[in-house]
Amino acid sequence: MKTRVGLGFDVHRLVAGRPCILGGVPFEHARGPEGHSDGDAVLHALADAILGAAGLDDLGSLFSDRDPRWKGADSAVLLQECVRLARAKGWRVVNADVVVATEGPRIAPMRAAMRSRMAQLLGVDGDAVNVKGKTLEGLGALAHGEGVAVQAICLLASD
């Protein structure tokens, strides 16, 4: 069995008047991620980790933010398309791990729901996807609630 690892990273500004969706799960929060799509930085980082491991183009190349087809797109649909593209090359997801750096919304209360939703989207068992929230210790713009930064790592195996 061959394996490949991929790394993803994404940052979105959090702004008033946008729904807050992270990891495919709606949060009760006054600000949401700005973006051409729904702005789900967690799913974007995860998708880029999968694409990276599979040797495919990155998310921005596949789903350009200048393409009107992806305006307001559900990032869950984009992620599932990335999983499909990886599968078409003979790769399946083994596990994924995500770090969400933000001063708000709080990740911990939604962690189980995020894990479950992402596992469903990736087609893996619930314990094969993990996520942790990290605060910024008062440092920089992210620490003032202005955005969210996400790192993701994903392991793929050949069928």
Structure tokens at 55: 């040797």
Based on CB atoms, which residue is closest to Mg ion, 76 or 112? 76
Handedness of CA 27, 32, 33, 38 (dihedral sign): positive
CA distance 135 to 56: 32
18 binds Mg ion (CB under 5 A): no
Based on CB atoms, which residue is closest to Mg ion, 15 or 128? 15
Instruction: Find the helix or strand (DSSP H, E) in which 62 lies.
Output: helix 59-62
CB of 79 to Mg ion, least distance (A): 11
Based on CB atoms, which residue is closest to Mg ion, 112 or 118? 118
CB of 46 to Mg ion, least distance (A): 11
Name residues contacting Mg ion, limited to 72-91 (CB under 5 A): none
Structure tokens at 24: 């495919």
10 binds Mg ion (CB under 5 A): yes
CA distance 90 to 88: 5
CB of 1 to Mg ion, least distance (A): 31
CA distance 87 to 157: 10
Based on CB atoms, which residue is closest to Mg ion, 46 or 86? 46
Q: Residue 142 forms beta bridges with which residues?
A: none
**Whether 52 contacts 7, CB under 8 Å:** yes
From residue 26 to residue 65, the character string flagging contacts with Mg ion as x (rule: CB under 5 A) and all else as - is ------------------x---------------------
Q: Which residues bind Mg ion (CB under 5 A)?
A: 10, 44
